[in-house]
Structure 1
């Protein structure tokens, strides 16, 4: 770690670190409205490291590039922070793991609050899901999103009365859906194919295409992420109840 990376801080964030944080700025015109893209990206929490003075932390690589990691897994973020505190306790003493929903992070990126001082933002997937992706596509690079097709069509589900195309951060979730489909549609079972695409490519496509069919895409968080979201929602409810009682 010490020979490869140097930690620093940059990019002060305005507003609260609480769930749902938004950053200020103006939104450029895009092919799809930001609200539609944000809705597709959803509430999947993205975890990052904050310094004690409310700044994002970054690493400097051997090539002198500055990278701020965005972790898909809270456990990975916490493990990374623990390593940082071990290697550089003075710098990381007050650092902490913070989170923001991917949809809100996308809007913050559009507003330009995260585009300064030459820092690159890089998503960090779990090793388990990267290995799963490479079993599907040998040379896969990026943050895996798993989906399935039946012949030439994407495998869809009904959600709140709407047909959506689920893209899973966790292959296990997709396989549960695929197995259910195969049981219900045995004649089509042999036509199902599991596929993988980088999150980064999905975001770029949503940003640059005006195809309304893309609004059918819904990202499905991992089980770990869902549990985190539920815990945050419970905390918010408890806080609201406490405020009303006071």
Structure 2
């Protein structure tokens, strides 16, 4: 929870941005190939730590394991949701209908994406282990699918957890923003297309001559996590995963005494 509260004090939303271009970061999965040289695990965990995900637990804090048959073989599965609202709807609209007695004892519990990542890594060491599934927001999957279809991949469905990245077309560089204080620049990967659009619109207003040179690219979260694990490019450390607006509001709700002065100012965008 402490990491969420820290994030609530440092993250701004599109509009409070300072834009520039950063080329490189090798090539992300879904964009190209990466050299297979592992980065320190603590760096990966740190980037994932500040993105909340939501699951269902009983009063003991145990995950809710669902069983289903897959090709006549029983499969055990635990769901983690990108959206807290989706987790609550799953509890209210499905579990309370199927097993109201059990459902009334359950609650939606926040964890971090780093927690999910570590759970999945541990599960790989166990035979016949539970499958831990990350559930995307369907609206964002629809947006990602629409983008694929508009880019010539008609009929293709986006499979995975979509992330949306504002970038420049000509030199394959990325818009960057500051996070908290200092001169460090970061590449935002948004969980919502609307956030990426807002950031790009802000840049276009500031630098209209570059408007035609910009676009939004969609990549898969799993591919980004793989890149964090395998890229030898130091620029990969510039990636910051930007939670959805719903999640940012949740994070800030954990810090009711947060000072407005902690929010970053809005300097003029630039390339």
CA deviation after TM superposition for structure 1 residue 231, in Å: 1.2
Q: Could you tell me which of 146, 161, 165 is aligned with 1:143?
A: 161
In the other structure, the counterpart of 1:130 is 141
Distance in 2, Cα, partners of 1:59 & 1:149: 40
Structure 1 counterpart SS, 2:252: helix
The secondary structure found in structure 2 opposite 1:47 is strand
1:209 aligned to which of 215, 218, 231: 231
Residues 1:186 and 1:176: Cα distance change in structure 2 (over 3 Å): same
Structure 1 spans left out of the alignment, 5+ residues? 1-17, 22-29, 237-246
CA distance, structure 1, for counterparts of residue 132 and residue 118 of structure 2: 14
SS at match of 1:162: coil
Aligned partners of 2:115, 2:190: CA distance in 1, in Å? Answer: 19
Q: Using the alignment, how far apart are the partners of 2:236 and 2:3 within structure 1?
A: 24
CA distance in 1 between partners of 2:87 and 2:3 (Å): 19
Secondary structure of the 2:211 match is helix
Q: In the alignment, which residue of structure 1 is the partner of 2:85?
A: 75
TM-score (norm: length of structure 2): 0.70
Q: CA RMSD for the aligned pairs?
A: 2.5
Q: 1:59: Cα distance to partner?
A: 2.0
**Farther off after superposition, 53-62 or 43-52:** 53-62
1:155–1:126: structure 2 CA closer, same or farther, 3 Å change rule? same
User: Which residue of structure 2 lines up, in the alignment, with residue 241 of structure 1?
Assistant: none
Could you tell me whether the CA contact under 8 Å between 1:144 and 1:169 is conserved in 2? yes
User: Which residue in the other structure is 1:61 paired with?
Assistant: 68
- Aligned residue among 19, 22, 44 for 1:37: 44
1:51 to 48, 51, 58: 58
* SS of match in other structure, 1:133: helix
**1:155 aligned onto 2:175:** yes
How far has the Cα of 1:65 moved from its partner? Answer: 2.2
The alpha-carbon deviation at position 191 of structure 1 amounts to 1.1
Aligned residues, how many? Answer: 211
CA contact (8 A) 2:3 2:50 kept: no
Maintained 8 Å contact 1:32/1:209: yes
Q: CA deviation at 1:185?
A: 1.6
Tell me the TM-score normalised to structure 1 length.
Answer: 0.77
Unaligned runs of 5+ in 2: 5-36, 150-155, 259-271
Structure 1 stretch displaced more, 173-182 or 31-40: 31-40
Provide Cα deviations, 1:193-246, integer angstroms capped at 9, x if missing partner. Answer: 11111111111221223322111100111111011111122389xxxxxxxxxx
Residue in structure 2 matched with residue 100 of structure 1 by the alignment: 111
The 8 Å contact of residues 81 and 136 in structure 2, kept in 1 or not, is answered as yes
Higher strand share: 1
